[in-house]
Amino acid sequence: METFVSAPAGASVVVASDLDALSREAAELFIRLSQASIAAHGRFTAALSGGSTPRMFYTLLGADNYRRAVEWDKVHLFWADERIVPPDHPKSSFKLAFETFISSVSLSAENIHRIRGEKDAETAAREYVKDIRDLFGTEGMPAFDLVILGVGEDGHTASLFPGSSALAEGNRLAVPVHRDRPDHDRVTLTLPVLNNALHVLFLASGKNKAYVLHDILEKGNRNKYPAGLVKPVHGNLRWLIDTEAASKLHTT
Ligand code: 6PG
CA of 135 to the centre of ligand 1 (A): 26
Residue to mutate, 156, 160, 230, ligand 1, most ligand atoms under 8 Å from C-beta: 156
Is any ligand 1 atom within 6 A of the Cβ of residue 117?
A: no
- Ligand 1: atom nearest CA of 203 is 15
Between CA 37 and CA 171 the distance in angstroms is 26
pLDDT range class, residue 8, cuts 50, 70, 90? confident
Between CA 144 and CA 251 the distance in angstroms is 31
pLDDT digits (tens, 9 = 90+) for 43-74: 999 999 999 999 999 999 999 999 999 999 99
For a pLDDT cut of 70, what percent of the chain falls above it? 97
Between CA 41 and CA 48 the distance in angstroms is 20
| Predicted confidence (pLDDT) at residue 6 exceeds the cutoff of 80 | no
| Predicted confidence (pLDDT) at residue 139 exceeds the cutoff of 60 | yes
CA of 25 to the centre of ligand 1 (A): 19
SS3 content of the chain, % helix, strand, coil (to 5): 40, 20, 45
Is any ligand 1 atom within 6 A of the Cβ of residue 190?
A: no
pLDDT digits (tens, 9 = 90+) for 86-136: 999 999 999 999 999 999 999 999 999 999 999 999 999 999 999 999 999
Is any ligand 1 atom within 6 A of the Cβ of residue 52?
A: yes
Residues 6+ apart with CB under 8 A from 172: 125, 129, 190
**What is the Cβ-side half-sphere exposure of residue 160, based on CA atoms within 13 angstroms?**
27
Between CA 196 and CA 140 the distance in angstroms is 10
Supply the pTM of this predicted model. Answer: 0.96
| Predicted confidence (pLDDT) at residue 5 exceeds the cutoff of 90 | no
Between CA 228 and CA 247 the distance in angstroms is 19
Cβ(160)–Cβ(167) below 8 Å: yes
Is any ligand 1 atom within 6 A of the Cβ of residue 51?
A: yes
CA of 204 to the centre of ligand 1 (A): 9
Between CA 96 and CA 49 the distance in angstroms is 9
Of 162, 154, 149, 166, which is closest to residue 235 (Cα–Cα)? 149
Between CA 189 and CA 173 the distance in angstroms is 6
Is any ligand 1 atom within 6 A of the Cβ of residue 155?
A: no
Between CA 55 and CA 51 the distance in angstroms is 8
| Predicted confidence (pLDDT) at residue 215 exceeds the cutoff of 80 | yes
Nearest CA to ligand 1 atom 10: 158
Q: What angle do CA 44, 53, 217 make, to 5 degrees?
A: 90
Cβ(20)–Cβ(60) below 8 Å: no
Q: Strands, DSSP E only, in the chain? A: 2-3, 11-16, 44-48, 75-79, 81-83, 146-149, 174-177, 186-189, 199-204, 236-242
DSSP letter for 252, please.
-
Backbone phi and psi for residue 91, each to the nearest 5 degrees, phi listed first: -90, 0
pLDDT digits (tens, 9 = 90+) for 151-168: 999 999 999 999 999 999
Is any ligand 1 atom within 6 A of the Cβ of residue 92?
A: no
CA of 159 to the centre of ligand 1 (A): 8
CA of 195 to the centre of ligand 1 (A): 18
Distances (CA, A) of 224 to 3, 146, 169: 24, 24, 17
